[in-house]
Structure 1
Amino acid sequence: MEFETLRFELEGELGILAFNRPERANAVNSVMLEELNSFWRDMQTRDDCRVLILTGEGEKGFCSGLDLKEAADPSGGFMREGISGTSMWKGQRRFSGLIELMRACPQPVIAAVNGAAMGAGFSFAMAADVRLAAPGARFCASYINIGLGGADVGSSYLLWRIVGWGRAAELLLTGKVVGAEEAYRMGLVNEVCPAEQLMPRAREIAGLMLEKSPLGLRLTKDALNAALNCLSLPDALRVEDRNQVLLMENLLIAGGMISSSPPPAQRGGAE
């Protein structure tokens, strides 16, 4: 896949996607927006890539959000359909739809946050399954700082599920910047790694995931998504039960669960 504003590499079954506008702290311009939509739509049906790492090129940022310079330019790409309620709605949906695509893709996504994750960049990090941060990483729901609502690009849905209601309300209502260590303390990131160890650690976690069965990995993310989407406990248990039966059947067909030893119940032992 060839892109102008992204870099994608496939290392075996591990895909690495990097925001690639380091001169603009990897801000999202109109070209990147379309390329991200294309990339995440493609990932929905790809079997050759089983795990994804998401990061940013350069030292300035993971993704600093919307490219405000282009957004303010009447002749820029964001304004190509003119200024109207309809055109603004379409543009907004191109952004927010990325979060749906990220969560729907079957590949677990590891965000390796190497710098500023602001606005939409913050939302992209939240939409990942696992978040690692370098010491210089910073997070900010900056939408409210530019005169918009603090809840944007999935932040009102994802953030409180990650850090709790009170913390999420504070971040969305104040637009405060959170450093890597504070992000770790509140549970926003899984680990803080030295900058030079960020990608090796992301690859290490990805490697552990790749050791698992392809179907098991996909169905686990599927179950996490179902629970994330407000299932009741009984509903979550039904999804888990369905997945486990499908996987056990798959193993039996492949011969992976056939053993010469009788099961515990036949030996008179308790489970």
Structure 2
Amino acid sequence: MTRPADPDLRALPLPRPESFLYEERERVGVITLTRPDRFNALTFQVYRELTDLFTVIDRRAHAEGGARALVLQGAGRAFCAGGDVDDIITRLFERDAEGLLRFTRMTGELIHAMRRCKLPIVASVKRVAAGAGAVMALASDLRVMGKSSFFAFLFPQVGLSGADMGASWLLPRVVGLGHASEILLLGDRVPADRCAQIGLATQVVDDEPDRDAVDRAAFALAKRVADGPHFAARMTKTMLQQELDMDFTAAIEAEAQAQAVCMQHPDFAEADQARQQKRAPSWR
């Protein structure tokens, strides 16, 4: 359940990542993967630092004055091509069973931190979201894709289970079991037009010749969320995640309690006053 705002949380420092960039603009936190020469492939360090960042942002979500939504994007031509072959894949062959399990648990911790983070996340999918990059985009709340972009849950093509980093839990809930089974069993590319058809893409934009149009559209979508009632948006994401594991009766009761909390928040009264005065609401 979402907690009231705590001004003391403003003092909680954000991590200073070395492997990517983080900045806040217009109440939107922008996370930029910065290995464009490798299609922003992930390293062990990127995994750890991203997990730390999402964890702290979640703890700061109730603070006044901070980010109200997030964009996850990649520098250069691509979003993320998955785990780096040199930094991760080849080094996995040096690990024993316990070491491999430590790695796979670490990758899952990132996705768990993204889903647990109360701020809505918009993924800007330029060109390719493959492997772990595809799961990160999937774990985001909204996904903006360029027309030339594609997802590739390519784990089966390298002899691994398609059920990786929570993909087999998340994907059926986004696109349905039938589509998820096809995508995760075959590992084929899923182009942007099909992603839009099955609900994997929230928005598809023209990215030729200007591929940065995808980043701009993702930021605009995140800003729409950030400009809205933040308490309500946090509550909505929290309930969407929590209710995935509830039966219908429990979900109805959880929503009743959540909505009663929202009705006590000043934003609810402000929306009604703004309606009566025929003006835009001024959200807390």
Give the TM-score range, shorter chain.
0.7 to 0.9
Matched, 1:248 2:260: no
2:110 corresponds to = 98
Matched, 1:209 2:221: no
* CA distance in structure 1 between the aligned counterparts of 2:272 and 2:146, rounded to whole angstroms: 45
SS of the equivalent of 1:62 reads coil
In structure 2, do the counterparts of structure 1 residues 208 and 91 end up closer, same or farther at CA, with 3 Å as the change threshold? Answer: same
* CA distance in structure 1 between the aligned counterparts of 2:21 and 2:262, rounded to whole angstroms: 34
Structure 1 residues 1-271: aligned runs within 5 Å: 1-46=15-60, 47=63, 48-59=66-77, 61-74=78-91, 83-195=95-207, 196=210, 197-227=213-243, 229-251=244-266, 256=270
- In the TM superposition, what whole-angstrom CA distance separates every residue of 1:125-157 from its partner, at most 9, and x where no partner exists? 110111110122111111111111111011100
Look up the equivalent residue of 2:73 and give its one-letter code.
T
SS of the equivalent of 1:87 reads helix
Q: Which runs of 4+ in 1 moved over 3 A?
A: 254-259
In structure 2, do the counterparts of structure 1 residues 257 and 58 end up closer, same or farther at CA, with 3 Å as the change threshold? Answer: closer
**CA RMSD, Structure 1 to Structure 2 (Å):** 2.0
CA contact (8 A) 2:126 2:145 kept: yes
* CA distance in structure 2 between the aligned counterparts of 1:118 and 1:73, rounded to whole angstroms: 18
* CA distance in structure 2 between the aligned counterparts of 1:258 and 1:139, rounded to whole angstroms: 42
Higher-RCO chain (CA-CA 8 Å, sequence separation at least 6):
2
Q: CA deviation at 1:257?
A: 7.3
* CA distance in structure 2 between the aligned counterparts of 1:150 and 1:106, rounded to whole angstroms: 27
What TM-score do you get using the length of structure 2 for normalisation? 0.82
In structure 2, do the counterparts of structure 1 residues 72 and 242 end up closer, same or farther at CA, with 3 Å as the change threshold? Answer: closer
What TM-score do you get using the length of structure 1 for normalisation? 0.86
Q: Which protein is bigger by CA-based radius of gyration?
A: 1
* CA distance in structure 1 between the aligned counterparts of 2:271 and 2:149, rounded to whole angstroms: 45
* CA distance in structure 1 between the aligned counterparts of 2:224 and 2:272, rounded to whole angstroms: 25
* CA distance in structure 2 between the aligned counterparts of 1:235 and 1:185, rounded to whole angstroms: 31
* CA distance in structure 1 between the aligned counterparts of 2:84 and 2:105, rounded to whole angstroms: 17
Structure 1: runs of 5 or more not aligned: 260-271
Q: CA deviation at 1:201?
A: 2.1
* CA distance in structure 1 between the aligned counterparts of 2:262 and 2:219, rounded to whole angstroms: 26
Residue identity (%): 28
Q: CA deviation at 1:87?
A: 1.5
Q: CA deviation at 1:207?
A: 2.3
Instruction: Give the length in aligned residue pairs.
Output: 251
Structure 2: runs of 5 or more not aligned: 1-14, 274-284
In structure 2, do the counterparts of structure 1 residues 257 and 127 end up closer, same or farther at CA, with 3 Å as the change threshold? Answer: closer
Look up the equivalent residue of 2:111 and give its one-letter code.
I
1:262 corresponds to = none
